[in-house]
Amino acid sequence: MDTLEEDQDVKLQLASASLISDLHASLHPLLWEVCDSGERQLRKWIRNRDLSEIHSKLDAFQESPQLLDPHLEQFVCLLADSFLICLQTPLIQNSSISTQNLFIPVYKAISRLLYRFCKVRGEKIIVQLFSTEVRHIELLQSALEKWAPKRQSALLFTEEASPNVKELCWEWEEIYITMLWLSQLLLVPFDLASISSDTTSISQPDLLLPALPVGSPDLVTRIIPLAIHYLSTPGKEKDAAKYLLVRLSTRRDMLENSTTSTLINWAISQLRPNSNLSVHHILGVLSFLAGLLASSVGTGIMQDYLLSLFEASQVISSSATPLLKMINDLSVARKLILKIYCRIALISLQDQDNLSNFELVEGAIGHMLDSISDAATPVRLATSKALSIITSKLPPSMANEVVDDLLAAMKKNILWTALSESHGQSHTCSTQLLIDSTKFSKIPNERKVAFQIRGLSIKTSNYRKMDASRVNSLEWHGLIMTLSHLIYRRSIPPHNLSPVLAALQLGLTFEQTSTSGSSVGINVRDAACFGLWALARRYTTAELQGIVLEKNLETLDSTITTVTTLQQLASELATSATIDSVGNIRRGSSAALQELVGRHPDTVEKGIDLIQVIDYHSIALGARAIGEVALNASLLSDHYYTKILEGLLGWRGIRNSVISIRRVSANTIGEMVSFNQLKTPNLDTESV
């Protein structure tokens, strides 16, 4: 922690102007050259070294892709127009120039650059910049049929394959970009039957294809087999094929001629146990159904298929068939099934008069509650988001039941240790006199020291210490994240926020240590930061001030003196933002603190001074955050002093497993006590 931690996002922002200027200067000369006649023409070969340099410049924008937005249209249009020119010319035959791995054909370079833009900025944004001229449909579809390799052509996948044949075959980048572009072109507002299409017989992959309705447009009969073929592949082509099929299925003319219903019935039939199907084929079908459900919310397209799709998803989740069990063991499949359950519930809630729909909703919620402790983080994140979306659409009584179930799950395996055996008895700890030292000796050392330093009086009968060593940290992460999403959507009424806020406070200080000594509570604290940020953003000052916090938290201020809810949250966020050992948690707490102070003015003591001290960038370096920022924050108020000192005396400070953190925490405690002794000359520091 004592080593320098570079602020990558700041460095990128400073260097972005130079990187974008280099892209402008190098992208056009990379693709185009001036021939002897003075005319510009598209190059046939691109140096791999030049392409790699542009890739490295684009990869630098991974963490802040929005910096590319002002120039994105110019870059993508240049590449897309060049790609169309490549499709209108014969593909380059194999040449000795490419066998040295120094050059690649220009169409491969263009497709790789377009994919790189999709990877950095997102395919949904990039595809909107592609041309939407209808005349490109036939060009793209014909190129896909001609140059994309077919699975039944074993020659293309063997070592004996001719180099000429291999060179003429597209790789996955070209297929991905072409199908993505086709999915955008299918937004044309008129019937596909009115688009002229090449009726030449094209050999299609040997797959079990749906029997399309009689009279289907020629273009549709050509698109669907290829899309289904690439839906079964393990690469990125699967995503583009899914977009293409979903876009085709939601068209009005496809609904009218029963093509959509044919595809839906075919997809559901593929989910039944069948040893002849591959895992990737099932995953592709699941992704298609999940995408179609998402696109059909509010349209009624999937209303008649909800029950059969729900039952098919249940079979995959619980089947003992080797193939389906293998699929359910994949986190990708479990995430897709969660998305299917979520959309089924949302569509069912559109018709709340139908009681059978509530059975589907309850079944979906039950599955999500079981998946909230999934071992895969993407599955837990998808579960929390889906459950919060469904809860926001439920009637208030059912929504309250879901929240109660979440809070009840958090209470499992938690041990509470009372700090005093006799209830209703006050213990006064001061610098001059310690009353009832026998009872006071039962208080943990870090709290005893904090009490003695401040000369505070505490009624320990109302105080309990939480022991979370036996709880499931993965389940807590899912629960805290779900509650945070519920708060973000304002799905919890203000009068029910007290137990939820108590849970978030517990999550902010959650920590477990694995058998190897590593921390396993970071994701829980990160989820709590998001929840507190959302709380400050979504609820008014009057609503938050009306919350009565539960007295079951590991905190000093709520038991010593009466403080407002916002002040207590500010104190805890200030502590987490300054002394947490993880940089992302410090920054998340700082962001939540700034949101709290900014949206609820005049409710936090010295709030403006506090967020100026705990600046987002000043806490990037852990040693500085504990040694300098925490000290400066503690001098602003007794609230911050007590909470920060309490934290430094616990697992985030001198009891941390990292020696450098213990060292800087000890130095900070000494400086805090020294500064406080200047204000209180009679302070007894021997207890420290």
Position 166 scores a pLDDT of 46
Element (H, E) at 466: strand 464-467
Element (H, E) at 586: helix 583-599
Inform me whether the pLDDT recorded for 552 exceeds 60: no
Position 664 scores a pLDDT of 93
Residues 295-309 have pLDDT tens digits of: 988 888 899 999 999
Strand, helix or coil for residue 331: helix
Strand, helix or coil for residue 34: strand
> For 32-60, what is the mean pLDDT?
87
- Using alpha carbons, list the distances in angstroms from residue 288 to 141, 255, 330, 337: 20, 16, 17, 11
Position 91 scores a pLDDT of 66
Position 435 scores a pLDDT of 27
Residues 323-361 have pLDDT tens digits of: 888 999 999 999 999 999 999 999 999 887 777 788 999
Position 461 scores a pLDDT of 43
Inform me whether the pLDDT recorded for 549 exceeds 90: no
Position 553 scores a pLDDT of 44
> For 589-616, what is the mean pLDDT?
94
Alpha helix ranges (H) inside 197-258? 218-231, 237-249, 252-256
Alpha-carbon distance of 580 to 588, in angstroms, equals 11
Instruction: Flag the least confident range among 28-37, 148-157, 340-349.
Output: 148-157
Nearest C-alpha neighbor of 344 from the set 383, 313, 316: 313
Strand, helix or coil for residue 551: coil
Phi–psi pair at 64, nearest 5 degrees: -135, 65
Nearest C-alpha neighbor of 463 from the set 420, 510, 507, 509: 420
Position 433 scores a pLDDT of 26
Tell me how many degrees the CA angle 606-529-403 measures, rounded to the nearest 5: 120
Inform me whether the pLDDT recorded for 554 exceeds 50: no
Nearest C-alpha neighbor of 567 from the set 640, 484, 516, 518: 640
- Using alpha carbons, list the distances in angstroms from residue 622 to 627, 633, 648: 8, 15, 13
Comparing 270 with 444, which gets the higher pLDDT? 270
Comparing 610 with 19, which gets the higher pLDDT? 610
Residues 310-319 have pLDDT tens digits of: 999 999 988 8
Comparing 551 with 463, which gets the higher pLDDT? 551
Element (H, E) at 458: strand 457-458
Position 7 scores a pLDDT of 58
Are the C-beta atoms of 419 and 443 separated by less than 8 Å? yes
- Using alpha carbons, list the distances in angstroms from residue 301 to 80, 106, 215, 260, 271: 33, 42, 22, 9, 20
Inform me whether the pLDDT recorded for 410 exceeds 80: yes
User: How many other C-beta atoms are found inside a 10 Å radius of the C-beta of residue 154?
Assistant: 10
Q: Residues with Cβ < 8 Å from 248, sequence gap 6 or more?
A: 186, 220, 223, 224, 227, 254, 259, 263
User: How many other C-beta atoms are found inside a 10 Å radius of the C-beta of residue 662?
Assistant: 15
Which letter, b or e, does each residue of 574-584 get, where b requires 16 or more Cβ atoms within 10 Å of its Cβ? bbbbbbbbbbe
Position 438 scores a pLDDT of 36
Position 200 scores a pLDDT of 55
Position 17 scores a pLDDT of 84
Residues 197-236 have pLDDT tens digits of: 665 545 444 456 788 888 888 899 999 999 999 999 998 9
Alpha-carbon distance of 320 to 555, in angstroms, equals 48
Instruction: Flag the least confident range among 160-169, 270-279, 354-363, 402-411.
Output: 160-169
Inform me whether the pLDDT recorded for 48 exceeds 70: yes
> For 554-563, what is the mean pLDDT?
50
- Using alpha carbons, list the distances in angstroms from residue 520 to 352, 375, 656: 42, 13, 14
Inform me whether the pLDDT recorded for 459 exceeds 50: no
Quick one: what percent of the chain has pLDDT higher than 70? 81
Alpha-carbon distance of 313 to 294, in angstroms, equals 16
> For 628-649, what is the mean pLDDT?
92
Inform me whether the pLDDT recorded for 99 exceeds 80: no
What is the pTM (predicted TM-score) of this model? Answer: 0.83
Tokens at 595, concatenated: 């949101």
Instruction: Flag the least confident range among 334-348, 464-478, 554-568.
Output: 554-568
Inform me whether the pLDDT recorded for 513 exceeds 50: yes
Question: How confident is the prediction for the chain on average, in pLDDT?
Answer: 82
> For 238-266, what is the mean pLDDT?
93
Comparing 418 with 540, which gets the higher pLDDT? 540
Cα torsion angle, 321, 324, 326, 330, sign:
negative
Position 52 scores a pLDDT of 92
Residues 159-184 have pLDDT tens digits of: 344 444 444 578 899 999 999 999 99
Fill in the amino acid letter for 99: T
User: How many other C-beta atoms are found inside a 10 Å radius of the C-beta of residue 490?
Assistant: 14
